Amino acid sequence: MNDTARLKKLTTLLQAADCPAIAFVPGPNFYYLTGVKLGLMERPTILIVTATGEMHAAIPALERDRWTAEVPQAQTIFWQDSDGYADALSRLAAQTGLSALAVEGNRMRHFEAAALAEAFGFAPTDGTTMLAPLRLHKDAEEIVKVERAVRISEQALEATLEVVKAGMSETEIRARLMIEMLERGADAPAFDLIVLAGGAAADCHGVPSADRRLKAGDALLFDFGAAVDGYSADITRTFFCEHVPDASRKLYETVQEANRIGREILQPGLSIHELDSAVQSHLADAGYADNIRHKVGHGLGLDVHEAPQLMVGNHQTLEEGMLITIEPGLYDPDVVGVRIEDDVLITADGARSLTTLPRDLRIVG
């Protein structure tokens, strides 16, 4: 991890926004800047980075040893549960001497922002928009980690498909997939794995059920991904059990072609608006306008969903180093759902799919 380069990216953003400092809580940005993974809990854990690159922190004392070893450059105030956090944050305010402060508004909870306001004597501002470019372009180390997460995910799916058969429940199949990922070196699933059968596959983010069992002719949708060193894979494939109804075949082939269109037009300079329009237009022109439920994709990295957001109206252009998903889908409520999702890196002269799983229609069971 190149902490110096990442810190420089942040300070450049702060200086461009004329913002003296920003506060972080544990999460992707916190980890990106420090290499330390901590969870959000009842104890406020605050990192402040100034526009000049100084790091200040208020950290629960139980994290002292790890924090001191990993982030020795931070000027840190440690506090004990028995003392509470109010005094530590007041000392942090005095130590930094700040008269203005931004926070990552899409991560920090209200009680942490309120505690900072009390300690600093003013209300922090929301720095979410300013931070959006921070992790937008992936470096070589990040790409390697995502590629490893993708390989583990793909191998785990193939192993799972070998045992899938009619009569298995969604949760039974999901459990097998999770075990296969962990046995291959995943730190954890990147998110709650989605395995949906039959009409349930039309629920874009449905919850697997022990009561729903795979039947002949059912779609079987997997939306899944492993996490490796904090970085996520996010892949979707849709299969059919034993045979494919004719209407489902046409739906699948339409989504497959939309996925191909999306991947093949990717290149630096292409506007996200144009990308989403091209993919969604293919789905709509095939007669499925009423079956479209979501945008074409999103950014991927430490967060499963991060910048850029791939949707109509976003005229930002693609740039080398962006890592995105291409995931067209069509959904007929309570009948069938099909989605095909790939993780794709924008390169200097086009794009490279990190996902290598076949996209052709496949029968299982």
Shared-domain flag, residues 18 and 40? yes
Q: How many domains does the chain have?
A: 2
**Same-domain status, 70 and 196:** no
Cβ proximity of 116 and 89 under 8 Å? yes
Task: For residue 1, name the pLDDT band (cuts at 50, 70, 90).
Answer: low
Question: CA nearest 172: which of 218, 209, 201?
Answer: 209
pLDDT for res 163: 98
What does the pLDDT read at residue 259? 98
What are the φ/ψ torsions at residue 309 (nearest 5 degrees)?
-90, 125
* Pair (34, 183) in one structural domain: no
Spatial contact of 291 and 202, defined as CB atoms under 8 Å apart: no
Q: What is the pLDDT of residue 291?
A: 98
Looking at the fold, whether 187 and 283 belong to one and the same domain comes out as: yes
| CATH assignment at residue 102 | 3.40.350.10
Could you tell me if 173 and 321 lie in one domain? yes
Structure tokens, 319: 């740039």
Strand-by-strand arrangement of the 297-299 sheet: 306-310, 297-299, 323-326, 342-347, 350-353
Last residue of a domain, one of 113, 131, 149: 131
One domain, residues 103 and 51: yes
Q: What is the mean pLDDT of residues 199-223?
A: 97
Instruction: For 359, list phi and psi in degrees, rounded to 5.
Output: -110, -5
Alpha helical stretches, state H, 162-307: 170-183, 246-264, 272-283
Domain finish residue from 131, 150, 176: 131
Confidence bin at 183 (pLDDT 50/70/90):
very high
Q: What is the pLDDT of residue 2?
A: 67
Same domain, 127 and 146: no
* Residue 196, both tokens: 């949906």
pLDDT (0 to 100) of residue 151: 98
pLDDT value for 263? 98
Q: What stretches of the chain show up as alpha helix (H) in DSSP?
A: 3-16, 28-34, 64-70, 86-96, 110-120, 128-131, 140-161, 170-183, 246-264, 272-283
Rounded Cα distance, 170 and 252, in Å: 21
Q: 131, 162, 180 — which closes off a domain?
A: 131
3-state secondary structure at position 32? helix
- Domain limits at 59? 3-131
> What whole-number percentage of the chain has pLDDT above 90?
99
pLDDT digits (tens, 9 = 90+) for 102-152: 999 999 999 999 999 999 999 999 999 999 999 999 999 999 999 999 999
CA nearest to 260, candidates 204, 340, 322, 201:
340
Degrees (nearest 5) of the Cα angle 153, 317, 267?
Answer: 60
CA 70 to chain centroid, in Å, comes to: 25
DSSP string, 72-104: TTSEEEEE-TTT-SHHHHHHHHHHHT-S--EE-
Q: Kind of pairing, strands 219-224 and 226-228?
A: unpaired
User: In this predicted model, what pLDDT tens digit does every residue of 286-330 receive, in sequence order?
Assistant: 999 999 999 999 999 999 999 999 999 999 999 999 999 999 999
Instruction: Mark whether 49 and 13 lie in a shared domain.
Output: yes
Predicted confidence (pLDDT) at residue 331 exceeds the cutoff of 80: yes
Please tell me whether residue 350 adopts helix, strand or coil conformation. Answer: strand
pLDDT grade, residue 185 (50/70/90)?
Answer: very high
Give the mean model confidence (pLDDT) for residues 49-61.
97
Q: Are residues 150 and 84 in the same domain?
A: no
What's the pLDDT band for 3 if we cut at 50, 70, 90? confident
Average pLDDT over residues 231-236: 98
258 Rama sector, left if φ>0, alpha if ψ -120 to 50, beta otherwise: alpha
81 and 151 share a domain? no
Pairing of strands 363-364, 350-353: unpaired
- Residue 211 CA: distances (Å) to CA of 70, 141, 172, 200, 237: 46, 42, 10, 12, 22
What's the CATH number where 189 sits?
Answer: 3.90.230.10
Q: Quick one: pLDDT at residue 174?
A: 98
Q: How far apart are CA 89 and CA 82, in angstroms?
A: 15
Whether residue 149 contacts residue 234, with contact meaning beta carbons closer than 8 Å, is answered with: no
Average pLDDT estimate for 208-233: 98
Task: Kindly state whether residues 228 and 320 are assigned to the same domain.
Answer: yes
Per-residue pLDDT of 69-96, as tens digits, reads 999 999 999 999 999 999 999 999 999 9
**Do 98 and 181 lie in a common domain?**
no
pTM: 0.95
